[in-house]
Structure 1
Amino acid sequence: MKRLYVGSLLCLTFALAGCGAPDLSAMQPQVQKSAAIVVDVDNPPFGPNTAAVAGSGTLSTEVVHTTAAQMLVQVDHILANQGVNGVVIAVHAASSIVQSVAELAHNHPDVRFVVVSDWPTVWPQLTNLSTLAMDPDTIAYAVGYLIGIDINDLVAKSTSTYGYAVQPKIGYLPSSAPSDEQKAFFAGLYQSDPAANVIPLVSLNGPGLPILYPTVSSAVVGTQPSAAQLAAISAQTGTVYSFADSFTGASPVIGPGHLASSRVRDALAQLQSKSWRAGQQSVLDLSSVSLNTAVVPASVVVAWAKFEVVAEQSASSWQAQFAALPNATRAQLASEFGLS
């Protein structure tokens, strides 16, 4: 009787599913998941949101928060003990972690690495390392182009107010930024405003005296100014534009922004892709340029929205545009800023 009772109980149990064998292939715990980590280094502005990158599909993901100084030891420990086969690293400036990432990728050749950063650096060629970042030349071109739109709006307002055009003076602080970035900036500026009036910000005072810049309506910086330079600029104008990768001071009216947060999720998808490949990729997002919408006119916002759509596909067009500048403009840029 006891054996009959057990058999009847089993039949009753399976009857709930049609009195047949269970479909093992439909049981999700049977699916093997790959493991990945997203490493948030020093909280970049596009930093990963834990909920947004939580495990989905066939990828189980954990977010790890660390610093550039501690990343190597922390990630190396995880890779040695947790069976992770993919790493996405989010960082503002890739130069702060390049050596650590190179060592990790070399020590763990079976793990794929994707570095997502606002600003790029020079990477070693490794078959398991892919990088994605904004292109500094394209950012500089975009900033220059949008400044020209902003200046055009000011000229239009002066014309309606005074009955004639007043071309504002733009002060350009001589920069140690790479030559290509500076040339890209000027190519963008003169593309949208061929009449732009640019003068160098060079102190009118002699050595040993406080910095005194000529009168300008706005100023442009391509690298971080010194505290004394910032103070001298502020004494002349409250309108500062920047294409520098780092700027400490009042937020520029138009300047570099950051990647979209979706880039981290895209990198996770890239880890699983059959078409995954190593190498460097330059991208541009709507968030890649920062606009102070309380100051800039709507024409600048609209121009950026249109420009961003095509800029990534025509990233090197600034070179031809710089080469096509009028001879007088090219001569001025060469003599005053060393750009030829």
Structure 2
Amino acid sequence: MFEIFWRFLILGLVSFGGPVAHIGYFQKTFVDELKWISQESYTKLVAFTQILPGPSSSQVGFAIGLKRGGVFGAILAFIGFTLPSFLLMYFAVTIGIFDSNSILFGVVTGLKLFAVVVVADAIITMYKNFCKTTLSIAIALLSALFLVLFSNITATIFALIFFAIVGIMFIKSEKTQEDVNPHKKINYIYLSLFIIIFILLGIFGVYSDIAKFINAFYSSGSLVFGGGHVVLPFLQEFLKEFISNDSFLVGYALAQSVPGPMFSFASYLGADILASSPFLGALIATITIFLPGFLLVLAFYDSWEYYSSKKYVFGAIAGINATVVGLLISAFISPVFTSAIFDFFDLFLVILGLVILRRYKIKILYLLGLFCLVGVVL
């Protein structure tokens, strides 16, 4: 259990680049290096989280913790991965940690370059695993082109659904190479809890400011597909009575500069809104924005493992996985590449890091430290 916590804590300290980049970090750490989860199970898991509302990369981490150590392992995975960004966003409100810290700025610069390396490595690895046929290659390239041209959540959902249908129609099922969990039903306890909380907060939010405050974060976490930047308009609409537009945008800008899940933006908002008890406000906001997505993972995880072995579901997963490669490519172009690469020297460092990582199989923590050092020196 402690290993689950500290492995995710390390990733929470260094995982820049947003949810798509986080999938690459998890792939490298838990599939390639630690072997906690097989490639087949991981690809199913990524496909699973793409169709659920909530913070997709955090749901992947939560599910890995669930597979490794049960519900308690899932909770530890969430705490470890989220704690660094939670504390950074909280301290950004209370002590202005980002105001004038050149060393921290240098480390962040190095880690953004490191994120480019990790995402590029994830694209290569996942392309090899997901794109083995002409059709899957075509799906990956077409979805990448489409998502570069139409970079919004509606386009992403459309691409996932469209190419899932293509997969069902044209990709034949194969026999899975590992044992599949016996048929298990949906866990209706967690599903009911998700629905009851959603309804009650909506009702009591009309009469109570604190319930309305909590409902803003719970509803945002319940309605957002893809997480990350998509949560911005939801939170802005729900919280317009509680926080000024300037403070909201400052917090959102800071959220781009911290590692870990973008949903930690809620930590900043909670601390700013409950100024008399900022830590409590940050804690409530963080828990309630992540909670609905995690309840849905708990509700459908076992049944998803079973149904994902069925032939039509297999075809849908294959289509979704190829689309995820396209999503990785589009996210690599923007915002990962465009937010980190500003000159030819930056590009040289990224190419060098990718060569070192893939050719010489250097441990990812060593490469991470090297990029941090480079960022501080430069």
Asked whether the two chains share a fold, i.e. TM above 0.5, the reply is no
Q: State TM-score, norm by structure 1.
A: 0.27
Which structure is higher in strand share?
1
Which structure is higher in helix share?
2
Q: State TM-score, norm by structure 2.
A: 0.25
